[in-house]
Structure 1
């Protein structure tokens, strides 16, 4: 007989999470019901449906999924509770303003998992975490070793905007700040509605956008059903790669056939607009002829995948696709969002760095983002 009652996980006493429970006493994966706590205890349900109960707000957190560290920092407005992060998260912080805003994150141990997110269980145990955040949708083999070692695991899914809202709620709950997560989720929904409202007023031909998740080693695009396609459509543009599904490698011949008006290079490799402009094989692509190739901004986290900074990507991309001689309020929004998420007021120089103003400077209409 299976015991479906939630388990209590005292701080530093590493026990497995219990099985899922329904009911209003739990925080659902979608964050529809608020968590209840007995005394100082905190109970929530992760995105696997697994129930975890802690004896109070967690103080030591290990994160394996790449966006989790920056989102956890944004929820807490601090890096003080991060005990360990994946190397990819550390690298993103080291390359971005996150390491400047929170120097402590660059000192956090980051040899806790492989590139495929298989955990270094011994290394994680040595960090004495209260909770480990791990992918819930990439197979049990990257979660079970942690749970077999007695570590409480908060399983998370990723890929949709709804997942980001769920992360806000779950992370804020284990941090003992549930109201912060609810406010962040509401803010995210409001930002999306505002972008959609502006897009609904646009008329005329929709510009054809092609986003490269990877460019240097392979031409990897985001097709139908992806988050990137969702926000290309959100701003009123067309995703030219929608005829393929998911994350797909294509060849140059396919790109020439699509002939996009705008090309966006993601932040998952080192490709820059000059790499495209300087390659004669690309000279007949409409975006290259018009010099409309851009490197996506890099802020506290990469702007192109789902995160709390996604609304900044939407604002930036809307101005790239529909330039009107202004920055669309982007620089002001960066300042407002960074104060809200990080308690940091970025300088104009820091904003220039985020926006890759030098690398993008030779591309059409990028002077709209000048300070």
Structure 2
């Protein structure tokens, strides 16, 4: 889900007298000085709605509705013990990805607590008696929960890395683990600097890259104010959906085949929100004249602890994967990076079989240069 508001958050977590304070500055399209709010005991921070959230002690029961939030909570917490329920799409990603292997107890949690459009099943959520509910900040999604007496933290997604940093900082604070926010952000910042340095050092433009959020049963592509547009441009590519002939509106926007044919993208990415695989595109004659198909540059985006296509704790791995796809002569050593990241995030060392599964090596093997991701 992509929020329509252009808002940036500068976040910092600090300890105050045994408690925790969360500093946030929010402004429409600008950065404002952070404002300190804290107590001598307990936890206090601002969510992305700009509201102060307080807890007397670290939370132990959390319901998550935004799709990335469940796996993000697990990564920050180092386990699923404090996750009480999640959106079904979060549960599906755990089941189909590697998180369910790492933390199988998470697959036993309730996951029918909201509709596909994030409308909460208030009675189901209230029956769990959670310390807090994580929800998108839209008023119509938050109000029913708050009217039922539930404490809600509102998230926004403006398609920027600052949003991910904000989510991690809030989750770390409420769990009583502010050091995790620092640790995860430090890792992310290092990878971001590396990717930016690589992009700045290239002499020519990168390929045009089109990301499909939905491919089966109707096309949807990443338009303006999406995280996908952010990382396509971050690694030095261009997104035809936000180029000279852009899609109207923001977020994931529907389009037809004719529009794709007119763009003629050089790389096509298939997201993890439906079952489309590269071979489905190669086998369909309607796509045969698209540059990405002619050069066999259609790829299924990896699925790890969470889907790599939306923003999340594994996004730095997505940046490197996409850079390797766009510029195959520059290999990042992604398998090693993934192993190191999983140790940091989950205290888990993935096997070669795990890495093959995360990277869809079998499903992507007919696509150009994908052998670079095979086990050495």
Using the TM superposition, give the Cα deviation of residue 124 of structure 1 relative to its aligned residue in structure 2, in angstroms: 1.2
Cα distance in 2 for partners of 1:43, 1:105 equals 28
The answer to whether the 8 A contact 2:25-2:35 is kept is no
Cα distance in 2 for partners of 1:71, 1:46 equals 16
Using the TM superposition, give the Cα deviation of residue 183 of structure 1 relative to its aligned residue in structure 2, in angstroms: 2.5
Question: Could you say what the CA RMSD is over the residues aligned between the two structures, in angstroms?
Answer: 1.7
1:299 aligns to 2:299 (yes or no):
no
Cα distance in 1 for partners of 2:307, 2:36 equals 30
The answer to whether the 8 A contact 2:339-2:350 is kept is yes
The answer to whether the 8 A contact 1:99-1:105 is kept is yes
The answer to whether the 8 A contact 2:66-2:87 is kept is yes
- Once the two structures are superposed, residues 132-159 of structure 1 have per-residue CA deviations (whole angstroms, 9 ceiling, x without a partner) of 11110x3x22211211111111111123
Query: Which residue number corresponds to residue 169 of structure 2?
Result: 169
Q: CA 1:34–1:77 in structure 2 vs 1: closer, same or farther (change >3 Å)?
A: farther
Cα distance in 1 for partners of 2:87, 2:176 equals 23
Q: TM-score, normalised by structure 1?
A: 0.89
Q: 1:36 aligns with which of 34, 38, 43?
A: 38
Runs (4 or more) in structure 1 with deviation over 4 Å come to: 29-35
Say which SS state the counterpart of residue 191 (structure 1) adopts. helix
Q: 2:23 aligns with which of 7, 20, 27?
A: 27
Query: Which residue number corresponds to residue 180 of structure 1?
Result: 180
Tell me whether 205-214 or 282-291 shows the greater mean CA deviation: 205-214
Query: Which residue number corresponds to residue 10 of structure 1?
Result: none
Query: Which residue number corresponds to residue 354 of structure 1?
Result: 358
1:157 aligns to 2:156 (yes or no):
yes
- Once the two structures are superposed, residues 13-44 of structure 1 have per-residue CA deviations (whole angstroms, 9 ceiling, x without a partner) of xxxxxxxxxxx9653266956663323x1111
Cα distance in 2 for partners of 1:167, 1:364 equals 35
Using the TM superposition, give the Cα deviation of residue 217 of structure 1 relative to its aligned residue in structure 2, in angstroms: 1.3
Cα distance in 2 for partners of 1:311, 1:81 equals 25
Cα distance in 2 for partners of 1:228, 1:368 equals 23
Q: CA 1:92–1:29 in structure 2 vs 1: closer, same or farther (change >3 Å)?
A: farther
Q: CA 1:224–1:176 in structure 2 vs 1: closer, same or farther (change >3 Å)?
A: same
Say which SS state the counterpart of residue 328 (structure 1) adopts. coil
The answer to whether the 8 A contact 2:49-2:154 is kept is yes
The answer to whether the 8 A contact 2:60-2:131 is kept is yes
What is the 5 A alignment of 1:167-246?
167-242=167-242, 243-244=246-247, 245-246=249-250
Cα distance in 2 for partners of 1:339, 1:164 equals 20
Q: TM-score, normalised by structure 2?
A: 0.88
Q: 1:323 aligns with which of 328, 338, 352?
A: 328
Q: In terms of Rg, which structure is larger? A: 1
Task: List alignment gaps of at least 5 residues for structure 2.
Answer: 1-19, 27-32
Figure out how many residues of one structure are paired with residues of the other and give that number. Answer: 344
Cα distance in 1 for partners of 2:47, 2:25 equals 6
